[in-house]
A and B are shown apart, each in its own frame.
Chain A
Amino acid sequence: MIRETLLLALRAIRRNVLRSSLTILGIVIGVASVIAMVTLGGGATAQVSSEIASLGSNMLQVRPGQGFHGPGGARSAAPSFDRKDVEAIRGQVYGLEAVAPVSTAGLQAVSGNRNWSTSVLGTTNEYFDVRDWPLGSGRIFGEGELRSGKAVCILGTTVGRELFGDGDPLGASIRLEKLACTVIGILASKGQTSFGQDQDDVVIIPLRTFQRRIAGSTDVEAVYLSALDGVSTTSVKQDIEGLMRERRRIAEGKDDDFHVRDMQEIVTALTGTTRVLTALLGAVAAVSLLVGGIGIMNIMLVSVTERTREIGIRLAIGALERDVLLQFLIEAVVLSSFGGIFGILFGLLMALAGARAMSVPFILNPGIMVVAFLFSVAIGVAFGYFPARRAARLDPIDALRHE
């Protein structure tokens, strides 16, 4: 009986291929966005965690201002750090491996007739330790170069490629606005962050050079530091917070005007952004699944009306109410399952394309595929029930008389 009903449903759907395809479009879109979003999200999460692992989970950042506002956020209101703050942290906080002051600016780098706009970062050699970022070729800054603010620089691979093509940048001279500096080293390639930001698009110069020749002040934008192995970042964070409150004379009960972020917070900030995206796509999916369900209900009602006579014949020759109910319910479920299957395939294709474009890994999640399929079946049942019941309740005489 079920087998016959299933064949019947497939035949009814095949008879109206175009109509059936349009009917399931809503479900296809809904399921596809869920699948794409979860698959991409899974890939991004996996990448973030592997990135965190490669960064070292023992890194911390200290910035003026409150919380994580991104570049140029509420930072400006709070007083900046300077060299003395960096020395105080280095001298008074226990368990530090390396401490690097950092200042940045977006600038145009020029070499001959080529130019490339990039981010210039003024810091010390300890930055390479904190970020666990070795040089690919050349050398790090010399003590004298750091102390006297020499015009030397170390290029990220992207900048090297953009300014010199296949040529060797080592020893060449580039211009950062009015500052002409000699290339002494090339960083190893680090690739993109999970947001698609190219970490190799950077020029690193000594902090003092940055302060004198570019910023024109002795401010330090942020302090990057790493804890020794086996030292808890939480205790380091607390120590820094205590120290900075004291140095900045923040009265008891007042909020900090600086912020110490550990990797956990950076992860939360990153996933927080993906969570907003997930919620947004989730809403799109929910709406299109609802619309898809209503579409199925609508088309099933049309189908019941079109086939009133057929229903009358079936009822006359011995179909029970539940036979007719089952017939139309199965038809609705077959429709919505097709929507689910095509949605899953389409969603995986979207995820594959998205993973390529954002260069995150493509990780199949069988669980969500099963859930999405079951959900589309459930939509068929929920929205097919009303039309099916209408068909089953038809009066056989009226139905037979129907033209």
Chain B
Amino acid sequence: MNGRPDAAADAWNGVLVAFSGIVKTYGMGDATVHALRGIDLVIRRGEFLAVMGPSGSGKSTCMNILGCLDTPTSGTYLFQGIDVGALSREGRALLRRHRLGFVFQGFNLLNQSSALENVELPLIYRGLQPRERRRKAREALEAVGLLDRQSHTPGELSGGQQQRVAIARAMVIEPALLLADEPTGNLDSGSSREIMELLTAFNEDRGITIVMVTHDGNMAAYANRTIHFLDGRIDSEVQNGDEPT
């Protein structure tokens, strides 16, 4: 176990996330789309989980529910023992604010703001004072090797650099769970390797739990465990050897 001490998670015996019978359908009647057809999944604290599967198999839907951005049609989702289904919109927003980090395929940085300001953003919503905020944001940028680019806007950075800023933004709040939906999908293999090394380092050194969607087996190889989605179900599961239990 290389996780951080976390009372709620410890009480749960190292389990961070538990999905049981998660179903998500879109639309009604003939037009109903079954995005998730009943997912049972346990993610342990400190785990690095890769999610693979063909396009349209429900990976992103699953990530959105994990990230408390979306709610399942049925089933229960426990996060650190909290029943997310019982939370209000505001409760879920607060959970995102304090526990969750996001890295997207398209980076999703604020284009008008500098790298430093982008990393500061989650800390503003956490109510940190400007000096403390700037210090933490600089630290995070340093950790991804971009301190010298702190005043550049995303437009002045390469794709790989933008994704590293996005990772710094996700990491700056030291989230319990980092969700990365195809983080290397828009990047060349060199940048992809840098991103994966960063994620692995955060997972191993800081014990941050990571769930990452990828189409690339080489990227999935960095994870402890890989699950394969097929048509809204988990089709198969592979341990990568150095699993943390």
Interface residue B67 (Cβ < 8 Å from any Cβ of A): yes
Instruction: Give the residue among B89, B94, B98 with the most A Cβ atoms within 10 A.
Output: B89
Stretch at the interface among A78-86, A270-278, A309-317, A343-351: A309-317
A321 CA to B110 CA, complexed, in Å: 18
Known pairs A15-B112, A323-B125; A317 contacts B104 (CB<8 A): no
CB within 8 Å of A: which B100-142 residues: 102, 104, 108-110, 112, 121-122, 124-127
Q: Are A315 and B124 in contact (CB under 8 A)?
A: no
Interface residue B70 (Cβ < 8 Å from any Cβ of A): yes
Residues of B near A396 (CB, < 8 A) are: 69
Residues of A near B108 (CB, < 8 A) are: 309, 312-313, 316, 400
Interface residue A357 (Cβ < 8 Å from any Cβ of B): no
Q: Are A316 and B67 in contact (CB under 8 A)?
A: yes
Interface residue B30 (Cβ < 8 Å from any Cβ of A): no
In the complex formed, the residue of B with least CB distance to A12 is: B112
Interface residues of B (CB under 8 A from A): 64, 67, 69-70, 89-90, 93-94, 96-98, 102, 104, 108-110, 112, 121-122, 124-127, 169-170, 173
- Chain A, residues 308-344, CB within 8 Å of chain B (1/0): the string is 0110111111111101000000000000000000000
Known pairs A310-B110, A313-B110, A400-B104; A321 contacts B90 (CB<8 A): yes
A312 CA to B170 CA, complexed, in Å: 15
A323 CA to B89 CA, complexed, in Å: 13
* Total of A-B residue pairs, C-beta within 8 Å: 55
In the complex formed, the residue of A with least CB distance to B90 is: A320
Q: Are A316 and B89 in contact (CB under 8 A)?
A: no
Instruction: Give the residue among A314, A315, A316 with the most B Cβ atoms within 10 A.
Output: A316
Interface residues of A (CB under 8 A from B): 1, 4, 11, 15, 309-310, 312-321, 323, 396-397, 400
A313 CA to B108 CA, complexed, in Å: 7
- Supply 12 A–B pairs (Cβ within 8 Å), ascending by A: A1-B124, A11-B112, A315-B93, A316-B102, A317-B102, A317-B170, A318-B125, A319-B125, A320-B93, A321-B89, A396-B69, A397-B70
Q: Is the interface of A mostly helix, strand, loop or mixed?
A: helix
Tell me the smallest distance from the CB of B164 to a CB of chain A, in Å.
Answer: 16
Q: Are B122 and A317 in contact (CB under 8 A)?
A: yes
Tell me the smallest distance from the CB of B125 to a CB of chain A, in Å.
Answer: 4
Q: Are B96 and A316 in contact (CB under 8 A)?
A: yes
In the complex formed, the residue of A with least CB distance to B120 is: A4
A396 CA to B92 CA, complexed, in Å: 11
Residues of A near B122 (CB, < 8 A) are: 317-318
Tell me the smallest distance from the CB of B153 to a CB of chain A, in Å.
Answer: 12
Q: Are B124 and A321 in contact (CB under 8 A)?
A: no
Q: Are A317 and B69 in contact (CB under 8 A)?
A: no
Tell me the smallest distance from the CB of B105 to a CB of chain A, in Å.
Answer: 11
Tell me the smallest distance from the CB of B84 to a CB of chain A, in Å.
Answer: 15
Residues of B near A315 (CB, < 8 A) are: 93
Q: Which one of A4, A312, A318 lies within 8 Å of B96 (CB-CB)?
A: A318
Q: Which one of B67, B110, B127 lies within 8 Å of A1 (CB-CB)?
A: B127
Tell me the smallest distance from the CB of A304 to a CB of chain B, in Å.
Answer: 15
A314 CA to B125 CA, complexed, in Å: 9
Q: Which one of B67, B69, B93, B169 lies within 8 Å of A321 (CB-CB)?
A: B93
Q: Are A318 and B97 in contact (CB under 8 A)?
A: yes
Tell me the smallest distance from the CB of B97 to a CB of chain A, in Å.
Answer: 3
Q: Are B121 and A314 in contact (CB under 8 A)?
A: yes
Tell me the smallest distance from the CB of A134 to a CB of chain B, in Å.
Answer: 73
Tell me the smallest distance from the CB of B25 to a CB of chain A, in Å.
Answer: 15
In the complex formed, the residue of A with least CB distance to B169 is: A317
Q: Which 7 pairs between the two chains have the least Cβ-Cβ distance?
A: A318-B97, A318-B125, A317-B122, A320-B93, A396-B69, A313-B108, A318-B96
Residues of B near A11 (CB, < 8 A) are: 112
Residues of B near A15 (CB, < 8 A) are: 112
Residues of B near A309 (CB, < 8 A) are: 108
Residues of A near B170 (CB, < 8 A) are: 317
In the complex formed, the residue of A with least CB distance to B89 is: A321
Q: Are A317 and B70 in contact (CB under 8 A)?
A: no
Instruction: Give the residue among B93, B127, B170 with the most A Cβ atoms within 10 A.
Output: B93
A400 CA to B96 CA, complexed, in Å: 15
Given contacts A318-B126, A321-B93, A400-B104, could you give 9 more A-B pairs where the C-beta distance is less than 8 Å?
A1-B127, A309-B108, A314-B121, A314-B125, A317-B122, A318-B98, A319-B93, A396-B69, A397-B64
